[in-house]
Amino acid sequence: MVTEPLVGATQEFVLTPKLATSWNQTSPTTWEFKLRDDVKFHNGQPMTANEVKFTLDRTCKLNAASREMADYKSSRVIDDHTIEVTTNTNIPILPAILHYSNFGIIHPDSLNAQGNFSIPVGTGPMMYDSFDQQTRVFTVKKNPDYWAGTVKLDGVVFSSVPDHNSRTLAIEKGDIDFTVDLPYNEAERIDALPGITVEKYLTPRVYVLYVNFDRAPLQDIRLRQALSLAINRTDIVNHVLYGIGQPAKGFFLPSMSFGNKNLEQLPYDPVKAKALLAEMGYKDTNGDGIVEKDGQPLTINLITATNRPALSPMAETIGSDLKAIGIQSKVEVMASAAGNDRVSAGTYDLNLVANNIAMVPDPGYILPKWFKSTGDTNKGHYKNATLDAQIDDAMHTVDDKERLAKWNKVEADAYDLLPIIPVADYGVLIVKKDTVQGYKFDPTAHDYALDYEITITE
């Protein structure tokens, strides 16, 4: 809200101009961005290519995630409102990466004499007012000179109230106007309170099961299919997530323009799941309800972390779904650091996580991480040369349409192969007083963002 990136995105994750009016790839490793000429920083200075270069250089120097994604080499000021960005390799999704909040354009005045970041001087609808180091209360005030329109709110105070009950009580009392993240089971009660509305949205995050391919017999596609068929996604969304979220349909949210629209929700069919297990040679020979092969019961160790509230009940539910088809499931819930250790040690079968899928609004963000044998997030060590080749091809395809088609194919193939088993899309709750008007949820923002048209009526 204080800073803005060069590239914007719609609710459907389609890129739009923001501080840049247009861009095009001039060679496999160079891009040219045309900048708006009517934008002023909060200190009154006009925004030019110099500040953009300053921001890109600085962000890629300091933020490892940004540097790695963009594979940034350098940038060059062509004129006041034109900048050329050079990458080390061909990164067709560079504009999408630059949408990312880390690339919000700042003025060098943001740094203090020692070169450390002190206060953000950006171009957004709100400008920095104060920050209390002790209470972490952050206040911003209206930018009277906003390029995109008139800002309706005079300012916003962000205070951190970590306890959700206190947040609810604070909005009930009227101490605050807007908050997020309630316990799911509270949504209905709070929504029923006079003057307060609770809205549900999907964020670019999905609950998925990571599969450990170093463990037999998970390499067998029939077992992964059986696992997927055993999971009652609709029930999980209704009862574990209280309807906040939605059964996965492909790997992306339905609202994302770049998802494969032909993919359907994975079916729930325990009978078929059992048949697949039987085909693999697993039968319940001793009548204990658990299937065996060569005298060994089929056991699945499902781990998950406590860092997101729905993970633990969801894991328990999946555990009992697996039991229902005769798999002996062992569910373990732990602190996320402990979970990471287990993943590094490879001592698990399935790992239930809630993973961000569109930090960068492009399929090229998550699909390679997940499905390439060298992918960052491919912690289950899935290896498939065909898929690797398809991904490499898609990543370096310059034509947007063609690239999208290739990604859709990768998504569909992975949906069949199930290196990762999707469960549900992640939902969030926005709680606001009825006096707050004009709020638009921005699913592409990494954190909750307030739009410049938001206002409070008396």
Partner 1 sequence: MHYYLIKRLGFLVLTIIAASALAFFMLHAVPGETAENVARHTIVGMEDSVSAEVAQEISSKYNLNDPIWIQYTNWLSGLIFRGDLGSSYVYKDTSVMTLISLALGPTIILAIASMLIVIVVGIPLGMYCAVHENRPSDLIIRGATILSISFPSFWLALMLILVFSLMLNLLPVAGYGSPANIVLPAVALALHPTAVVLRIVRTSMLETLGQQYITFAIAKGLSFGHILWNHAIKNALIPVLTLLGVYFGHLLAGTVIIENIFAWPGIGNLLISSVDARDIPVVTSCIVVIVAMFLIVNFVVDISYHFIDPRIRYE
Which parts of this chain interact with partner 1 (CB under 8 A)? 63-66, 68-69, 100-102, 116, 133-136, 159-163, 165-166, 169-170, 172-173, 175, 334-338, 340-342, 344, 353, 355-356, 359, 369, 376-377, 379, 446
CB-wise, 135 or 296, nearer to partner 1? 135
CB-wise, 136 or 283, nearer to partner 1? 136
CB 149 within 8 A of CB 452: yes
Whose CA is closest to 93, among 297, 321, 389, 366?
A: 366
**Which residues face 455 on adjacent strands?**
437
CB atoms within 10 A of CB 328: 17
CB-wise, 59 or 225, nearer to partner 1? 59
Shortest Cβ distance from residue 87 to partner 1 (Å)? 17
**Rounded Cα distance, 37 and 21, in Å:** 9
Phi, psi of 450, deg, nearest 5 = -105, 135
Nearest 5 degrees, angle CA 322-CA 324-CA 330? 40
DSSP string covering 125-136: SEEEEEE-TTT-
Tokens encoding 384: 């498939």
Residues 6+ apart with CB under 8 A from 380: 210, 211, 212, 213, 214, 351, 419, 420
CB 183 within 8 A of CB 167: no
Shortest Cβ distance from residue 22 to partner 1 (Å)? 26
Shortest Cβ distance from residue 311 to partner 1 (Å)? 13
CB atoms within 10 A of CB 315: 23
**Rounded Cα distance, 117 and 69, in Å:** 22
Shortest Cβ distance from residue 365 to partner 1 (Å)? 10
Strands (E), 181-291: 196-211, 245-247
Shortest Cβ distance from residue 249 to partner 1 (Å)? 21
CB-wise, 321 or 362, nearer to partner 1? 362
Please state at what angle helix 311-324 crosses helix 221-230, rounded to 10 degrees: 110
**Rounded Cα distance, 72 and 56, in Å:** 9
CB-wise, 148 or 170, nearer to partner 1? 170
CB-wise, 229 or 358, nearer to partner 1? 358
CB-wise, 138 or 147, nearer to partner 1? 138
- Kindly state the helix (H) or strand (E) to which residue 420 belongs, with its residue range: strand 420-433
Shortest Cβ distance from residue 176 to partner 1 (Å)? 8
CB-wise, 169 or 398, nearer to partner 1? 169
The size of the chain, in residues, is 458
Shortest Cβ distance from residue 306 to partner 1 (Å)? 11
CB-wise, 30 or 118, nearer to partner 1? 118
**Which residues face 35 on adjacent strands?**
20
CB-wise, 377 or 455, nearer to partner 1? 377
Shortest Cβ distance from residue 425 to partner 1 (Å)? 16
CB-wise, 301 or 340, nearer to partner 1? 340
CB 314 within 8 A of CB 279: no
**Rounded Cα distance, 181 and 169, in Å:** 13
Q: Under DSSP, is residue 70 helix (H, G, I), strand (E, B) or coil? A: helix
**Rounded Cα distance, 237 and 207, in Å:** 11
Whose CA is closest to 92, among 401, 414, 415?
A: 401
